[in-house]
Amino acid sequence: MEGNFVAPVFEKSDEDVEFLLDALADNFVFNTLDEFELETRECLRELRGAVDQVTFRKLLATHTIQNDNQTKVVLRKVPFLSDLDDEFMNRIADALTTVHYESGEVIFERGSEGSVFFVIQEGKVEYEHKKRGIKVLGPGDYFGEQAIVKNEPRRADATAVKDMFMLALSRDAHLSERFLGPLT
């Protein structure tokens, strides 16, 4: 019986397809689709959304796994995270969120509360440290690592130079304790 199962496909009107695409517009997974995947999305639109639920879930799961793997590759480039075992790396990856800043947007200012560590995925940031001067950081670079270990104000200013996406790890007590254990 299992081999004969065919997942149901429900034809959707143009209005239904637009509704689904609009609903998915704010979904992180669909906002990070690459060019090939966007073409696939356009094909879905042309098929009037005639994708069965099983296929949709497989596509979503595949993209999520690829995204998780890319996140871990980026984290392994951070020197103080590079030697962590897979279990701990998975816990850190699970605790991350992706944040977006537009060009010119202030990420944080010197003296503000330091509670988030950032790893740049895409874009550039101008990082001005009181003692070390100005640096422009790009993909793979990180900053704010002191924020997740110490409870001190920021010692630098950070501003997006280009539109950017970053991985962010919060020092938020209930989140970090749950995923990472005590940080101090």
Q: Report d(CA 21, CA 24) in Å as an integer.
A: 5
CATH node for 86-180: 2.60.120.10
**Each residue of 27-42: pLDDT tens digit?**
555 555 555 555 555 6
Cα 124-129-130 angle, rounded to 5 deg: 155
Q: Report d(CA 82, CA 110) in Å as an integer.
A: 28
Nearest to 93 by CA among 164, 168, 150, 27: 168
**Each residue of 108-130: pLDDT tens digit?**
999 998 888 899 988 999 999 88
Give the model's confidence band at 173: pLDDT under 50 very low, under 70 low, under 90 confident, else very high. very low
> Contact 149/176 with Cβ under 8 angstroms?
no
Q: Report d(CA 66, CA 171) in Å as an integer.
A: 26
Domains of the chain, residue spans: 2-76, 86-180
Considering only CA atoms, give the Rg of the chain: 20
The pLDDT, as a whole number, for residue 158 is 95
**Each residue of 56-99: pLDDT tens digit?**
666 666 656 666 667 777 887 888 888 888 888 888 888 888 89
How many C-alpha atoms does 132 have within 13 Å on its Cβ side?
9
Does pTM top 0.95 for this prediction?
no
179: its two tokens: 């995923």
